[in-house]
Amino acid sequence: MLISYGLSLLSLLCLVLCSDANGARFAKYSFNRWELLEYRAQVKELFYFAHDSYLTKGYPFDEVRPLSCVPKGRNFDDIEDTITNDVLGNFSATLIDSLTTIAIFNDKQKFQEMIELVRISFRNKFDLDSTIQVFETTIRIVGGLISSHLYATDPSKCVYLGSEYDGFLLQFARDMADRLLPAYLTSTGLPLPRINLRHGLRNLTADLVAENNVAAMGGPMFEFTILSYLTGDEKYAAVTRYAMNKTWSLRSELDLLPMSFNPANGQCYSHFTGIGASIDSFYEYALKGAILFDDAHLYEIWRDSYTALVNNCKADWFYVNAQSNTGQLSAPWIDSLGAFFPGLQVLAGDLEDAVFKNMMSLKLWNTFGGIPERWQFQSATTLQQPVGSAEASKNFTVEHQKLNVPLEWYPLRPEFIESTYFLYRATKDPFYLNIGIEILESFKTRFKFACGFGGIQDVVTGEVQDRMETFVLSETLKYLYLLFDEDNELHHTRDNMIFSTEAHPMWLKPDVILQYSQNKRFDDELYLRHLERHRAEDARLAARRNKGFFGRKRLAGLAKSFFADEELRTDMNDSQETQPDEPPICPSVSTSTYPWSYSPTLSYFDRLFEIDYRFSDTLIRPASMANRDPIETRKGFYDQWADSRHASCRVPSTTESFELILDVPGRSSPVRLANGTIKCKTLSGRWKFRVEKLQPGKTDVYGNRITTTPFQTADCNNIFRPDQHFDPRTPTLLYQVTALNGLALPHNATVVFDRNNILNNPEHRRTLYELFGCNPQSQLLLDSAPIINLYLS
């Protein structure tokens, strides 16, 4: 569906010749070289505005408050204030976390000045009486120091410092890692969530260490393994990799990981799973670690975990939160951190689904002017409309909107622009540059304050947030800059470069990899004995348990989950009794200025506005956003980049859909053909069908009006039960499968089970006979009605 986009030499020449009267070398939305350079320069200017504000108003504390222009540091009076103290360790976090953004700017002088400031700031390295979160400190501080060291020591990089740099950043990273590593000395090998940088685990209350999430238990493996490669000391990689593998062993039989555990005993705290907060970086580092370290086992973890997510959590526009041991919906909301996932899908090669998932983030931005921390895709309980003044009606509207946004803040998180950046690099579709322009404009206007950038404390009321977290300079503005920077050295390097979860570029040169493989050492007896003890215990337990600390009973036969009953509103299509008088039409477009190039998303993605009507009861714009045009239809951009010959919308569906889950012991191995048809040899495995009810006069999910023709030819005779009475009347209901195990079926595609293999297996034959029928046309029957594209053949 997506095609590469590029301006020809002829188009570039035209853009130069068509400069406006003021001598500008581009017209807005032309996206020629000069326009992108202008946006790039604006991002860089914004970064230095905020960075200079931090240096003058916030340093040596961790952050600067953008509205009040005072430092923000940790709460020394309350060790239990984890919201503040987890990420603010009194170690000038903004200074360290933003070093690599300056490196990406190729600003050698500033880069050198800032790393020298790090040197003089930490003469005793990180000997600080600060209780911090291990994971956040790893990705922001250890990761920032390692990546900056790579830049300073790589002759191929513009900020290479040569003999002017003595490698102290790597030593600082190692010092911090040594202070964090004792968190792994637990009875399970899983890390505690927090540690004191000076006193280790002493004086930590039970509440501070009782629960850790799987992202934090597995994630540090990435930075710590790179540290091992660079220092030759294997302990960092070995200890954290054991924890990563141990975390994966806690998965359910569905290969779904619960969100959190007690690291002391492996007890599960939260059984639900998804892709957002508390679990996101586990998937990210499984794939990125597999790539950077050329690690087959990490790739297996990624492959199996992603397959499980697709099978159990995938909806059209996002991944839902599900129970890890059943795969059933557990929470009707998604959170902002999940917006990173499309970028990871791009890296994994699943570009088509990445487009869908990033579209949800776009619609949330259109609605709220940012991505709320948590948004409900199901409509919340309806409030009773008050009778009275206009003020009472206004308060009612606000309260109703708040019900759909249970966590209402947007702290300028980077995940949406991160995924947008990766999608643009993969497709070169100007659709994603246009998103970047909107975010850039927001930073120049709505988010910019006297001393930096503040997010939105409440997306419904518009209340601003007097905080600028370190990721704003480390990630958000970095990805925005790179979106517009075609010339950046990272885009032309031959290094196997990977962004960390904090957007720090990481790479390993072949000579470093070779030297580590030949000369790595493990000299620390404490951690060596720690690993030997756990591995011996694992071997003893292997014979007595399958995998994980808990199991799951097989689902009994067939489970039926009706989206129409509001269990999962995202995958149902709003039921309507009558066909709309007029099908929705995409906004009209004028003749493109440059008719030889179009945005594939604007021109050929016929579901561009489906989210808007499907979730119209929860995507309610606050007053501050009421008059803002959607990003994708901004005047100028849409007119120029939409192909009027193709830009049309799919007619909204008026049918109902539900899920069928068939759970049979064993593993499935379906084969998908080029036309979208899926062939399955056996019933073994877990099958999740999305099934649509077809009735005459309605519109199916493909936008087609349902006629009476398929009903007239339908055969409801069940050949499995020849003794049953067959009613020859024309059926009033048919079914069709629209998705299987998270994979959407194209129109007219079929799902075919192998008749011989199934009928020759007594258990599978019995299961099939109990749950389905089959008509003479080999279509399976559900409740005596044919599933018109599900065959036993």
Binding residues for Ca(2+): 501
Catalytic residue among 223, 280, 656, 692: 280
Residue 319: which of 286, 344, 290 has the closest Cα? 344
Catalytic residue among 35, 136, 610, 632: 136
Residue 452: which of 438, 473, 434 has the closest Cα? 473
* 179 in Cβ contact with 166 (< 8 Å): no
Residues comprising the binding site?
Answer: 501
The encoded tokens of residue 724 equal 């049953």
| CA dist., res. 720 & res. 673, Å (int) | 28
Residue with tokens 């984890």, as numbered in its chain: 82
Residue with tokens 């050698």, as numbered in its chain: 108
Catalytic (active site) residue 280: yes
What value, to the nearest 5°, has the Cα angle with vertex 747 and ends 769 and 363?
Answer: 115
| CA dist., res. 378 & res. 644, Å (int) | 34
Catalytic (active site) residue 136: yes
What is the enclosing helix (H) or strand (E) of 351? helix 351-368
Q: Give start and end residues of each alpha helix (H) in 235-350.
A: 235-248, 280-292, 296-313, 341-348
* 790 in Cβ contact with 683 (< 8 Å): no
Instruction: Tell me the CB-side half-sphere exposure of residue 574, using CA atoms within 13 A.
Output: 16
For 495, phi then psi, to 5°, come to -70, 155
Catalytic residue among 63, 223, 415, 429: 415
Q: What are the distances in angstroms from CA 150 to CA 304, 495, 668, 747, 790?
A: 32, 12, 44, 50, 55
What value, to the nearest 5°, has the Cα angle with vertex 537 and ends 536 and 540?
Answer: 90
In DSSP notation, 510-540 reads: HHHHHHHHHH-B---HHHHHHHHHHHHHHHH
Residue 35: which of 640, 474, 647, 642 has the closest Cα? 640
In DSSP notation, 663-685 reads: EESS----EE-TTS-EEES-S-E
Which amino acid is it at 753?
Answer: F
Catalytic residues: 136, 280, 373, 415
